[in-house]
Amino acid sequence: MKLSLSSVFMVAMTILLAVGVAEAKMIKIGEAQIVSHPALDKDAEGFKAALAEEGFIQGKNVKYDRQNAQGEQPNCAIIARKFEDDRVDLIHAISTPTAQAHVKISKNIPIVYSSVTDPVATEIVPKEGATGTNVTGVSDRWPVDMQQKMYMEMAPAAKRWGTIYNPGDANVAVHIKIIKETILKLGGTFVEAHVANSSEIMQAAQSLVGRVDAIHITSDNTVVSGYESLTKVCNQNKIPLFAGDRDSVPRGAIAAYALDYFQVGYTAGKKAARILKGEDPGKVPAGRAEGYSLWVNLKHAKEQGLTLPTALIEKATDRLWDENGKLIKIKGLDE
């Protein structure tokens, strides 16, 4: 049967329109975060930036459904169920409680986790590398023993070390155990204060006054989300405060030897792009973030009554704030 020129044109246009509709299909990404604070927020920014570089651009071919559990772990399961019911194309799970909830509920949707300390011990993946499951991602496991040793060098007179954390966060338990072992090995003592939510931080900090000489806050999302309350108590009582994440340094900590969380999310985003381009998530290797840097704030040290050894100040080769709070640019880093 012969087709007229106009019929051929109409068929061709129909095919092109169908292809255009297919190409215009929006990819739905569900992104879940346990709580808002600078490190995790930067993780999310890095993830989105990496996907954009790979052609997955918000508003063009990607739609993000960003959910925040507001620091309440039961909300993680609610969000996970929502993403499952909505049949999103991929899930980005930021932090351990979030990733655990999504792995439990979603068995077929690809899941990319980030900012998870120990994904194997917390049963998010069976192993690092190719997991053989629908899950891959990036661990932010910190060198907490090295951090604690460095902070003890910065505050050599401090023998009684304290911390505040939410014991319900599986991430933190790993870090606390290592920190405690390191302090005891070096002849110090260790005091813990527990919180269930950010509203309890100030009271917990006040409970440490007179009992500790310095405080080290590790990967606890609950405490970091309300860091300003802790800083206020430390400044009022001249208690040196050290952080596990570097974004807490501008917020009140004296120092942090830590990761760039934008890079953590960026690395996870590159893994997500591979999956969206057709790779099996079980064959995209799960791994650890790399690249640590030392940030030091002399203004906060002064406010908290600590004079830092000059040799250690010189090690702050990434970012250093002077006693007036002015950022001194080093190695070309921007403010």
Share of the chain above pLDDT 90, in %: 73
Averaged pLDDT, 153-161: 96
* Higher-scoring residue by pLDDT: 111, 169: 111
Contact predicate 49/119, CB 8 Å:
no
pTM, whole model, 2 decimals? 0.74
Interior CA angle at 300 toward 34 and 237, to 5°? Answer: 90
The tokens describing 259, both together, are 């990761």
**pLDDT at 311 (0 to 100):** 78
Closest CA to 183 of 206, 205, 216, 210: 216
Percentage, residues of the chain above pLDDT 70: 90
| pLDDT exceeds 60 at position 112 | yes
> What is the token pair recorded at 140?
């932010």
Q: How far apart are CA 98 and CA 90, in angstroms?
A: 14
User: Which pLDDT band, with edges at 50, 70 and 90, does 290 fall under?
Assistant: confident
Instruction: Please give the Cα distance from 138 to 141 (Å, whole number).
Output: 9
What number of other Cβ atoms are within 10 A of residue 23's Cβ? 8
Specify the pLDDT at position 123: 95
Q: Which residue has the higher pLDDT, 140 or 52?
A: 52
Please report the pLDDT score of residue 5 as a whole number. 46
Nearest partner of 94 among 48, 141, 31, judged by Cα:
31
Tell me: pLDDT of 23 over 60.
no
Residue 8 pLDDT > 80: no
Q: How many CB atoms lie within 10 A of CB 45?
A: 15
Task: Check pLDDT > 70 for residue 2.
Answer: no
Contact in structure between 182 and 149 (CB atoms under 8 Å): yes
In this prediction, residues 241-270 reach a mean pLDDT of 93
Q: Which pLDDT score, from 0 to 100, does residue 1 have?
A: 46
pLDDT at 335: 42
Q: Give the per-residue pLDDT at 329.
A: 61
Phi–psi pair at 293, nearest 5 degrees: -145, 155
